[in-house]
Structures are given as structure tokens and as C-alpha cells.
């Protein structure tokens, strides 16, 4: 059996992650902790095999992926979330696990990753998730987003060019970024102006002891 066809019902072990079972993590996610943990266990079990995460990340799935992705949730507002370049389902499947009633559309161009996203959503019982194969610019006639999310996909200027046409009239983009977020915003000032968007950099803490995540929101001017 190939990695892309691996059975998601295999051994799932997050025990190598020092944050697994941490009361602070459980408190942060509240009644959605077990759902998020189940996704993390799938990722730890299948992520390296299927080329979704590197071997060095297996001991920090909570910090590097689950909590980092969850940090965007307070910035989403309401409505349909479209996660562009969803890859392993970060942040899209984390959002869906935390807010199971929200419609979440995962847009991903690679078929093997789309297969993973569909299998993981089904395994987790996330019935509000839809997976679309393609790039953002290829699904403009298929879906409209109240919120667009993206993580480790491209620079802000490129994301605006590709994904802003998907936005509803009052929609926003909520992007997970790194320490160079302010510089990226400056470089994107002309695409932002053409799209009628204004950017703000936010520090988004999760649990004590972890560096806050940087979230950039882009809203209609």
C-alpha cells in the first residue's frame, strides 16, 4: 500500500509530543479538544508518510500545527471559510474541528493531498467540509468566501492577486504569517489598494509559554 493510500485507521500516537495531554492545551480547546486531538493523531500517524509534515515536526504537532492554526479562529467572524492551499488541512481542518457547524471549503491543487483531506474529514466526522481540487484562481466561479484563510502558501501580494476575487463583498482574509508580516504588507500595498483591502497585523496568543502566532487580516477599505 502506498503512502497516499494508507489506511487512516492505523496506529495514532501523539505521545512523543510534550504538549499532548497538557491541561493548558485541553483548556484552550475546551469541548473541542478531543476532536482537534484526533486530527493531530491522524497527522502524527500519516503526516510524514504522506509527505504532509517533516519528521522533525512529529514531536511538536500541537505547537507547530494545531495551536498555530487555532490562533486564527478568533479573527474569522462568521460565514463560509475558504482555506486556500490547504495542504495537510492547516488551518482548514483545525477550524472545522473547532467549529463543526461552520462550512469550510478546502482548496488544494494536488490530488494526493485532496485525497488526504477528504479521508481525514470523513474519519473525523466533519460533514461541513468540502474539498475542491484546484488553485484559488481556478475556483472563482464555484465558491464565494466570507473568510479566506491561508498558511505557508505564498506572500501576501500573491495571495491577494490569487484569492481576493473569491471574497464576498464584506469578506475578509485572515492569514497566518511569520515575523516578516509587516514587511509583506508593505510590499503588497499596490495589490491591496487595487483589491480595496486594508491590512492589519495581529499578535495571536494561544497558551502560556508559546510564542504568539502572527495573523494578518485584510478587510475592505
User: 192 — phi, psi (to 5°)?
Assistant: -65, -40
Check if the beta carbon of residue 206 is closer than 8 Å to that of residue 212: yes
What CA–CA distance (Å, rounded) separates 60 from 54? 11
pTM value is: 0.92
Which three cell numbers, joined as nine digits, stand for 44?
Answer: 502524527
User: 203 — phi, psi (to 5°)?
Assistant: -95, 125
What CA–CA distance (Å, rounded) separates 127 from 149? 19
pLDDT at 14: 85
What CA–CA distance (Å, rounded) separates 59 from 19? 9
Residue 139, helix vs strand vs coil? coil
Domains, the chain, in order of start with CATH, read: 3-220 (3.40.50.150)
pLDDT at 8: 54
What CA–CA distance (Å, rounded) separates 140 from 191? 18
Give Cα separations from 194 to 1, 22, 31, 184 (angstroms).
Answer: 48, 45, 42, 16
Helix axes 33-46, 111-124, angle to 10 degrees: 140
Q: List average pLDDT for each run of 10 residues in the chain, which is 221 residues long.
A: 45 80 97 97 89 87 96 97 96 98 97 96 97 95 96 94 95 95 95 96 97 97 83
Amino acid at each position: 500500500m502506498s503512502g497516499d493510500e494508507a489506511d487512516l485507521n492505523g496506529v495514532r500516537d501523539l505521545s512523543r509530543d510534550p504538549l499532548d495531554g497538557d491541561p493548558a492545551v485541553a483548556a484552550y480547546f475546551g469541548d473541542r479538544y478531543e476532536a482537534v486531538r484526533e486530527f493531530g493523531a491522524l497527522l502524527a500517524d500519516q503526516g510524514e508518510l504522506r509527505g504532509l509534515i517533516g519528521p522533525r515536526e512529529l514531536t511538536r504537532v500541537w505547537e507547530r500545527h494545531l495551536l498555530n492554526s487555532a490562533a486564527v479562529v478568533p479573527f474569522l467572524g462568521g460565514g463560509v471559510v475558504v482555506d486556500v492551499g490547504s495542504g495537510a488541512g492547516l488551518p482548514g481542518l483545525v477550524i472545522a474541528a473547532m467549529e463543526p457547524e461552520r462550512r469550510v471549503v478546502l482548496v488544494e491543487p494536488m490530488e494526493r493531498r485532496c485525497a488526504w483531506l477528504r479521508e481525514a474529514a470523513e474519519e473525523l466526522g466533519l460533514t461541513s467540509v468540502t474539498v475542491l481540487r484546484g488553485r484559488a484562481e481556478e475556483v472563482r466561479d464555484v465558491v464565494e468566501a466570507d473568510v479566506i484563510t491561508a498558511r505557508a502558501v505564498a506572500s501576501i501580494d500573491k495571495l491577494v492577486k490569487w484569492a481576493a476575487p473569491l471574497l464576498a463583498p464584506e469578506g475578509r482574509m485572515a492569514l497566518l504569517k511569520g515575523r516578516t508580516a509587516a514587511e509583506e504588507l508593505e510590499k503588497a500595498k499596490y495589490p491591496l489598494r487595487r483589491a480595496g483591502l486594508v491590512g492589519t497585523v495581529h499578535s495571536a496568543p494561544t497558551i502560556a509559554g508559546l510564542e504568539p502566532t502572527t495573523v494578518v487580516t485584510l478587510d475592505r477599505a
